Amino acid sequence: MNDVHALDDLDLKILDTLQRNPPLSSADLAQLVGLSQSPCWRRVTRLREAGYIVDQVTRLNAEKLGFNLVIFAQVRLSAHGRSNLTEFVDAIGRLPEVVECYTTMGPFDFLLRIVSRDVKAYQDFVYGQLSTLPAVQEIHSTMTMGATKATTVIPIRQR
């Protein structure tokens, strides 16, 4: 199962219900999708093994935890050899402030979503860690004023 067309309507309903209500028990999920518990659990297991379910997490309120800034940083590397790219990606994986990292096309190589407590903490992070990573040539930062939409829900029901 590696393609959305291999999923039936019940699979899609299970996935959509799980992504909107991640802490559901298997009994509650089965009831919501209209299956008995065992067949529902078998489907969830199959969907997880096939890679459709990557993780189940609880989203936290970053501001309540003191992370008042969300910054998008575009990073350009000075060299694009395989070892430079691998070293950079591995190093980014070890930085907890970087909560998402994407490779991009265009003038920059990576787009990072970074959380920080304040501007000073972000400045310290850039000067002390991000700018010292292998082959980093340029960093362009955009600080957000607030999120008008933030969701992890994939619109899978629109097929």
Res. 144: pLDDT tops 80? yes
| Mean pLDDT of the 125-130 span | 98
First to last CA, the chain: 17
| Mean pLDDT of the 52-56 span | 91
Per-residue model confidence (pLDDT) at position 79: 87
Record the tokens describing residue 11, joined without a space: 């699979």
Task: With beta carbons less than 8 A apart as the criterion, state whether 102 and 111 touch.
Answer: yes
What tens digit of pLDDT does each residue of 57-74 get? 888 999 999 999 999 999
- The H helix count followed by the E strand count for the chain is 5, 4
Per-residue model confidence (pLDDT) at position 101: 98
Per-residue model confidence (pLDDT) at position 4: 65
| Mean pLDDT of the 70-99 span | 95
Q: Which residues pair with 57 in a beta bridge?
A: none
Question: Rounded to whole angstroms, how far apart are CA atoms 138 and 145?
Answer: 23
Side chain identity at 145, as an amino acid letter?
Answer: M
Per-residue model confidence (pLDDT) at position 21: 85
Per-residue model confidence (pLDDT) at position 158: 55
Per-residue model confidence (pLDDT) at position 119: 98
| Mean pLDDT of the 115-135 span | 97
Q: Which domains are delineated in the chain?
A: 7-49 (1.10.10.10), 69-143 (3.30.70.920)
What tens digit of pLDDT does each residue of 21-36 get? 878 899 999 999 999 9
Record the tokens describing residue 153, joined without a space: 């829900």
Q: Which residues pair with 111 in a beta bridge?
A: 74, 102
Cα 99–Cα 102–Cα 104 angle in degrees, nearest 5: 155
Per-residue model confidence (pLDDT) at position 156: 87
